[in-house]
Amino acid sequence: MCVAVPSLITAVDGFDAEVDIGGISRKASLMLTPEAKIGDYVLIHAGYAISIVDREEAEATLELFREMADSIEPEELNS
């Protein structure tokens, strides 16, 4: 299974972008989404922005990820 993570573009330099994923900054390629700009949410998979998503969809998905992470018991992380 593959997971693409919604991320907020905070900076763009050509086809390189800086994205924010839950407070963590990462580099991503915009080669597949050259129309993406600062302030857009994009789905990141394997270091590439594969599509632009609207803010509500991105925030709803990120909230689901937070809820899933919060539901994991600490001992489950070690198994």
Domains of the chain as residue ranges with CATH = 5-73 (2.30.30.140)
Share of the chain above pLDDT 90, in %: 70
Residue 1: pLDDT band (50, 70, 90) is low
- Report, as an integer, the average pLDDT of 33-62: 96
Alpha carbon distances (Å) from 68 to 7, 29, 71, 78 = 18, 27, 5, 16
